Chains A and B, each alone.
Chain A
Amino acid sequence: MHESHTAEHVHHELGFVRKYIFSTDHKIIGIQYMITAMAMAVVGGLLSMLMRYQLAWPQMLSPTLAKIFPISYSGGVMAPEFYISLVTMHGTLMVFFLFTAVLTGGFGNFLIPLQIGARDMAFPFLNALSYWVFLLSCIVIFSALFVTSGAPMGGWTAYAPLSAVPSAAPGQATGMTLWITAIALFSVSGLMGGLNYITTILTMRTRGLSMMRLPLTQWSLLITAILGLLAFPVLLGAGILLMFDRLGGTSFFVPAGIIMGQVPIDHAGGHPLLWQHLFWFFGHPEVYIVVLPAMGMASDILSTFCRKPIFSYRMMVYSMVAISVLSFVVWGHHMFVSGMNPFLGSVFTLTTLLIAVPSAVKTFNWLGTMWGARIRFTAAGLFAIGFVSMFVSGGLSGIFLGTSAADIQLQDTYFVVAHFHLVMAIAPLFAAFAGLYFWFPKMFGRFMNPLLGKIHFWFTFIGAYCVFFPMHIIGVGGQMRRIYDPTQYMFLVPQQPVNVFITISAFILGAAQLIFLVNFFVSIFAGKRATERNPWHATTLEWTAPSPPGHGNFGEELPTVYRWPFDFSVPGEKEDFIPQDVPATVTARH
């Protein structure tokens, strides 16, 4: 099956720059997002390796690192402010510039028109613009690493007054200003993208594709875009207020009468908790913005490699809606010990444990999908299964944290770090890997090396658990977040061997990702060619297009949809799958 040039409308043949760089084609934009996000992930990952090295051997002299970072490692030992800027930049890069970008920006862009049977997004130029604003935000945040006054040190959560007063810490001057600017640009880019996604999914579905015939990937992307629409502007507003507190002398978040290092800071009496409320009103939906597309993709990929319909499609949709609605009323669980009114603490405990219910429903449904299945253990399939395991582990630790009284002891310890890494970083990472292995042939017309893919999976699965499970233990033991030398505290010293174990596991986990990166980039040029359009025998519409799809995606005629995407192993059918665009024969299933 040759690349369909017959599919091209009459276009002037675009030059290299218009075709691959300043493209308005959603597929190119999606891949641009993915590759940029991967680059940010590499930087973010390297930062975390430095952090882990420090945590395992806090007072050890490191002459090699002192040569690479002469200022930050003067005397051979890491400077404390460097550690905190590593923490800040690691979190910021990963949450926004990797996960939100790759899942929503990368997969969203590539998949939406293809899976709904459209030729491109509703607003292709706006789509391209969203990528370039995103790239600009990447450049700004990256530059924050290099300013002479230091990279920002507020944590990714940037609590005021630490983030609002430039003299509160080194790096809180220019570095923090760049941070706010980068996040603001990112928010604008995200809003542009979300606008496109919602409009496209609602108005450009092909004939026969009703909402309840959409793949779960599409539902998750639609709901995520709506979440972003409602949450990101609040972050933007908070960022604007913070910027004015820093540069304009206003006092939204800075109370009167504070003294930084003997110097009184003149402010008129704002409230630090206001920042937390605004930030977490955005911040909690943000974590679902990260995990929902992961859930959607993992569900579809799981179903494909189980050769079995997803269990209870309807409840999967309803539970995603329930999770998103509830995500707006749980933000206070980040603030149980913040000084917030304890009565609110009770309310937020109730809502937080409530949101566990639809998540549990989804978990049961993933298990139900695998029960009686016929599982194909491809790299993509393994990562989709791994997603379920990771999400369960991370989700259960959330129950401890949502119970406000238990959170008193666990807040700001490594128990929290373990929870959010498993549920917001590792699980979505597994889903992203599943998606990359799965859709790689569609994106590039070639396969990634399957053996390397499986090796990558085993190392990542084992490595991730070895890194993040023990963090629950040291969190119970009381190790606080964001401290760069746990041995300063007698009560933490006995746990230090666990820190060493975590660090070594982290190095192995990090190194294993090189397998993926090499596999990914080499396969783009030298991978085994995908001669069939639908190598995985999947059912969704993108698999009816050529690999890779040309401009306009589907050729002369857009596909028509006759069924839902989960007709696997239908009794009495010749094949064990029926693509969505195959007309009903005996009885239409849905």
Chain B
Amino acid sequence: MADGTGPGRFTLSGIVLAGLIVILIVASLYFFIAQPYWFPILASEHGARIDSLFMAVLVVSGIAFVLVQGALGFFVARYGENGRERAAYWHDNPKAEAILLIITAVILTVLVFMGQRVWASIYFSDAPTDATIVEITGEQFLWNFHYAGPDGQFGRTDSKLITSTNNIGLDRDDPAAKDDIVSIGNMHAPVNKPVRVRLRSKDVIHSFFLPNFRVKQDAVPGMGIEVWFTPTKAGPFEVACAELCGLGHYRMKAALTIDESQEKFNQWLEEAAKQ
């Protein structure tokens, strides 16, 4: 009888499974290359860096995916049991393992460094001084946008002053608060100028998500968290909540309008102040 030579044959199950894997590879290549559904339209400056980073990871993991799933498919097709040949009896190859391990570690290390540069550029750099500043307070289930107004000073807020008509507890007796604007569900900012956002929450954890701007930051009660970004496209965009916050989480949205110019933005501020 055959004694350990030759590695097997094609079988029906093996070929069908290999075929499915080929379909999987082709379908995933299609979706990730042709991109019939893809990221929301990019509208921020740092967002481009995040998108590039994503593409870098996509290329690396895509190649790994095709190679590994492809090998899997090839092996199941090729090495089915059929006939009386034995499997090959090798089960150790320290050199090959070491090489693969090192290659993997190197690739991942490179990705870590690439990623950290983007991360640092977002979190370890301060917002420019001419940024439009907005204090955003999330609550169940809406977003409040607080602007300082022409005097550039934010009025004092106190949770004890919160009523149904004063969502953020603005102290109207504070002189700095006289010209403050609080807009519910509606945020504006001028294009091509940095926007500095201070996030707070009144009740549970929410998350300020701007899909087009690649901005996401949890709003945690008891904390004031800052993020900043620079919009690069004018137009209407959506704001969503990305952290489960209760039954109305699904509808905790707001409108973000990027105005084409500083004047248009100021106009909106004036009109909002009147309300």
Contacts and interface: CB of A to CB of B under 8 A. Distances in A.
A and B touch in the complex (CB under 8 A): yes
A403 B216 contact: no
Nearest to A372: B88
Given A377-B80, A491-B211, A259 B162 contact: yes
Range, interface on chain A: 35 or more
Interface residues of B, number: 106
A376 to B, nearest CB: 5
Contact of B247 (A170, A357, A360): A170
Contacts of B201: 258
B186 interface: no
B274 interface: no
Contact of B220 (A273, A411, A569): A273
Contacts of B217: 337, 339
Contacts of B215: 408
Contacts of A485: 250-251
A259 B203 contact: yes
Nearest to B91: A309
B72 A367 contact: yes
Interface stretch (A154-162, A195-203, A547-555): A154-162
Given A259-B139, A342-B124, A392-B72, 18 more contacts: A162-B246, A165-B204, A168-B204, A258-B202, A258-B203, A353-B111, A354-B108, A368-B93, A373-B7, A373-B87, A375-B11, A385-B76, A400-B57, A403-B53, A404-B116, A408-B215, A488-B251, A566-B91
B31 interface: yes
Nearest to B214: A409
A404 B75 CA distance: 35
15 contacts: A162-B246, A264-B160, A271-B222, A272-B222, A306-B87, A312-B92, A339-B217, A367-B75, A370-B76, A374-B86, A404-B115, A412-B209, A454-B13, A474-B37, A477-B40
B272 interface: no
Contact of A469 (B28, B87, B209, B245): B28
A367 to B, nearest CB: 5
A307 B68 contact: no
Contacts of A271: 222
Interface in A493-521: 494-495, 498
Given A80-B248, A375-B14, A405-B119, A159 B205 contact: yes
A491 B54 CA distance: 20
Interface string B97-132: 100110011001101100110111011100000000
A490 interface: yes
A399 B108 CA distance: 9
A465 interface: yes
**Most chain-B CB neighbours within 10 Å: which of A168, A365, A572?**
A168
Given A309-B91, A392-B69, A272 B119 contact: no
Interface string B33-51: 0000111100000000110
A364 B100 contact: yes
Contacts of B250: 80, 83, 482-485, 488
B233 interface: no
Contacts, number: 338
Contacts of B238: 489-491
Interface in A328-355: 337-339, 342, 345-346, 349-350, 353-354
Interface in A417-433: none
B72 to A, nearest CB: 6
Given A345-B123, A350-B112, A360-B100, A153 B222 contact: no
Q: What 10 A-B pairs are tightest by C-beta distance, nearest first?
A: A255-B222, A372-B88, A377-B13, A342-B123, A405-B118, A309-B91, A483-B250, A478-B211, A403-B115, A308-B87
A273 B123 CA distance: 19
A248 interface: no
B265 interface: no
Contact of A371 (B20, B79, B216): B79
Nearest to B158: A257
Given A342-B124, A478-B211, A576 B86 contact: yes
A477 B205 contact: no
